Structure 1
Amino acid sequence: MHVTVDVKGEDTHEFDLNAVATDADRGPTYADLLREVDLSPHEVSVLVDGRPVPEDQPVDHDHVTVLRLIKGG
């Protein structure tokens, strides 16, 4: 499955889930996708269809929106 990760206000990334590195036995999680775009679950919220999803949940949608909670310094 191909997944689009839209980091709001920044870039959009395309991934083939079969190529995403994972630590889970059940397949890539949303946290794995965040690692691929060099973001931490502590600094973002992951949304699917406008609703937040836990980062340890397996990816089951083809479009993910990522909102940064903190930016700048």
Structure 2
Amino acid sequence: MHVTVDVKGEGTHEFDLEALESAGEPDGDSGPTYADLLREVGLSPHEVSVLVDGRPVPEDQPVESDYVTVLRLIKGG
């Protein structure tokens, strides 16, 4: 499955979940998680909220949507 990750204000990224799963560490049958997607775009779950259909999802949940929105909670300095 292909997933689009839209980091609001910073652009979009496209990923193939099968490629992520084969490149990642084996962690059971659940497949890649939203935290895995965040890691691929260089973000930490501590600095963002992950939304699917406008609702927050836990970062440790397996990816089940083909479009994910990421909102940065902290930016700048």
Match of 2:48 in 1: 44
More helix by share: 2
Match of 2:10 in 1: 10
Q: Which amino acid aligns with 1:48?
A: V
Query: Cα offset for 1:19?
Result: 1.2
Q: Which amino acid aligns with 2:14?
A: E
Q: Give % identity.
A: 84
Q: Which amino acid aligns with 1:72?
A: G
Match of 1:29 in 2: 33
Q: Which has the larger radius of gyration?
A: 2
Query: Cα offset for 1:22?
Result: 3.3
1:49-60 pair list within 5 angstroms: 49-60=53-64
Query: Cα offset for 1:11?
Result: 1.3
**TM-score normalized by the length of structure 2:** 0.91
Greater than 6 Å deviation, 4+ residue runs: none
Q: Tell me if 1:71 matches 2:50.
A: no
CA distance in structure 2 between the aligned counterparts of 1:58 and 1:35, rounded to whole angstroms: 14
**TM-score normalized by the length of structure 1:** 0.95
RMSD (Å), alpha carbons: 0.9
Structure 1, unpaired ranges of 5+: none
CA distance in structure 1 between the aligned counterparts of 2:45 and 2:68, rounded to whole angstroms: 14
Structure 2, unpaired ranges of 5+: none
**Structure 1 contact 3–17 (Cα < 8 Å) conserved:** yes
